[in-house]
Structures are given as structure tokens and as C-alpha cells.
């Protein structure tokens, strides 16, 4: 990762005394990713049923736990861009992360069930060892009471995630899913996901309940 070192100017008297009085440097990393996938698998749904997905990101993080970035992707009917900023850290085996995400959909016809509008979430997660729990809380005024929750566990290259969407705006959109992922290499991953509706499969807003298979390739770069 590219490192940026910020140091104060050492006073002339300190130089004369041979003392190095510069404070501890703050290290920052900037990276980027590009990737392709057989589908845009999002919360147990396929957002590109007629084709694959192309995506990329640019990210900033520093040693104090602060991070920010932008991620963009193709999806059915247009594309999506996410902007995010957050802070994370750990205490022994316990980890935590709090972030704010803004989801932008420039075109009409997006397949995301957020009233086809831009939206925002606050994401809060906590972990202990290989187990992580997260809450995605809607903070957009038009999409409140439309929250998503996950519990996941990782073992070696496998991760299993259970997610449920509590959508107070529409019962047809309440559903759960289980997703099993395998990280074959740093670049290649595969997933299988199965969702379950609270309503009949043919009801308005019902999600796909047949198994979804995804394989993807993502390459990371240091900037």
C-alpha cells in the first residue's frame, strides 16, 4: 500500500541539539479494485438477471481506523454508485465498525427495491472471532423502516451468511436468505444463495427462491 507520512517541522534549536522532535507519522493507504461477476448477487437477490456484472472501487484508509471510498457497478437498467465513510477497530477478539453509505441510482428502472430512489444507510457491525453480526439501518426519509440484518461466520476460505430484510413498507418484500461463499484465491470467489419469501413466489415484489450461483473475479491495486 502507498504510505503517506506527515511530520512536523523540527525547530532549529532541536536540530542544533541533535534531537528529532517529529511526532508519530499517520500512515494512509489508497487502493483500487476492478472486477467482473456472473451476476450482481446482492442480499440474496440477482440484480442482473439478463447478464453479468462489472464493478470497481477506490478506497482510502488510515492506521487510526478511518476509511472512505466509492464503489460503482453495472446493474439491470443502469448502474449504481455507492459512497461511504466509516470507522472500525478492535478490542482483543472483539471488533466493531460503524459506517455511512449513500446509494445513488442515476437511471430509472433500477432493480433495487428502495422505491427506485437514492437512499442511505448507517451500518453497524460487531464481531467476535470468526462471527460477525451487522445491522443496515435506513436513514433516508423515503425508505425508513426498511432494514436489513445479517449474522455470518468464517472458517478458512468459507463464509456462511444468514440475512433477513425487515421491510415495514411492504410485506411482500420481507424475506430471508442463506449465502455460502468460497474464496478460492485472492481474486476468485464463488457463492451459492437461497432466499425464502414470506409470501407466495408469484406475489408482487416476491424475490427469487431458486438457488443462485455466482462466480467472480476481482483484482486489487495499490495506488
Q: What is the pLDDT of residue 105?
A: 83
Q: What is the pLDDT of residue 117?
A: 59
Q: What is the pLDDT of residue 168?
A: 66
Q: What is the pLDDT of residue 1?
A: 34
Q: What is the pLDDT of residue 121?
A: 93
Q: What is the pLDDT of residue 199?
A: 67
Judge whether 5 lies within some domain. no
Judge whether 132 lies within some domain. yes
CATH number of residue 42's parent domain? 2.40.160.40
Judge whether 70 lies within some domain. yes
Q: How many CB atoms lie within 10 A of CB 44?
A: 24
In this prediction, the residues of the chain whose per-residue pLDDT falls under 50 are: 1-22, 109-110, 112, 114-115
3-state secondary structure of 102: strand
Q: What is the pLDDT of residue 114?
A: 47
Judge whether 4 lies within some domain. no
CA 124, CA 59: separation in Å to the nearest integer?
A: 19
Judge whether 184 lies within some domain. yes
Q: What is the pLDDT of residue 25?
A: 58
Q: How many domains does the chain have?
A: 1
The DSSP bridge partners found for residue 161 are 152, 179
CB hemisphere CA count around 181 (13 angstroms): 19
Q: What is the pLDDT of residue 173?
A: 65
Can you read off the three cell numbers belonging to residue 177? 436468505
Residues 202-221 pLDDT 10s: 666 678 889 999 999 999 99
Q: What is the pLDDT of residue 79?
A: 87
Residue of 44, 154, 139, 129 lying closest to 98 (CA atoms): 139
Q: What is the pLDDT of residue 152?
A: 98
Range of the domain at 49: 34-222
Judge whether 207 lies within some domain. yes
Q: What is the pLDDT of residue 9?
A: 32
Judge whether 206 lies within some domain. yes
| Spatial contact of 172 and 165, defined as CB atoms under 8 Å apart | no
Q: What is the pLDDT of residue 22?
A: 45
Amino acid at each position: 500500500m502507498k504510505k503517506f507520512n506527515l511530520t512536523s517541522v523540527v525547530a532549529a534549536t532541536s536540530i542544533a541539539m541533535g534531537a528529532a522532535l517529529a511526532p508519530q507519522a499517520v500512515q494512509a493507504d489508497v487502493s483500487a479494485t476492478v472486477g467482473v461477476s456472473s451476476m450482481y448477487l446482492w442480499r440474496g437477490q440477482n440484480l442482473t438477471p439478463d447478464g453479468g456484472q462489472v464493478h470497481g472501487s477506490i478506497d482510502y484508509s488510515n492506521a487510526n481506523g478511518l476509511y472512505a471510498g466509492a464503489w460503482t457497478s453495472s446493474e439491470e437498467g443502469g448502474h449504481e454508485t455507492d459512497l461511504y465513510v466509516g470507522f472500525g477497530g478492535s478490542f482483543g477478539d472483539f471488533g466493531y465498525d460503524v459506517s455511512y453509505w449513500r446509494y445513488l441510482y442515476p437511471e430509472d428502472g433500477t432493480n433495487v427495491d428502495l422505491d427506485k430512489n437514492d437512499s442511505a444507510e448507517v451500518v453497524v457491525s460487531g464481531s467476535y472471532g470468526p462471527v460477525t453480526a451487522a445491522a443496515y439501518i435506513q436513514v433516508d426519509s423515503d425508505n425508513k423502516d426498511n432494514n436489513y440484518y445479517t449474522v455470518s461466520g468464517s472458517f478458512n476460505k468459507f463464509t456462511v451468511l444468514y440475512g433477513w430484510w425487515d421491510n415495514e413498507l411492504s410485506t411482500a418484500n420481507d424475506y430471508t436468505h442463506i449465502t455460502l461463499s468460497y474464496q478460492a484465491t485472492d481474486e476468485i470467489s464463488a457463492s451459492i444463495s437461497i432466499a425464502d419469501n414470506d409470501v407466495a413466489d408469484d406475489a408482487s415484489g416476491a424475490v427469487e427462491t431458486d438457488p443462485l450461483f455466482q462466480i467472480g473475479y476481482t483484482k486489487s491495486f495499490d495506488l
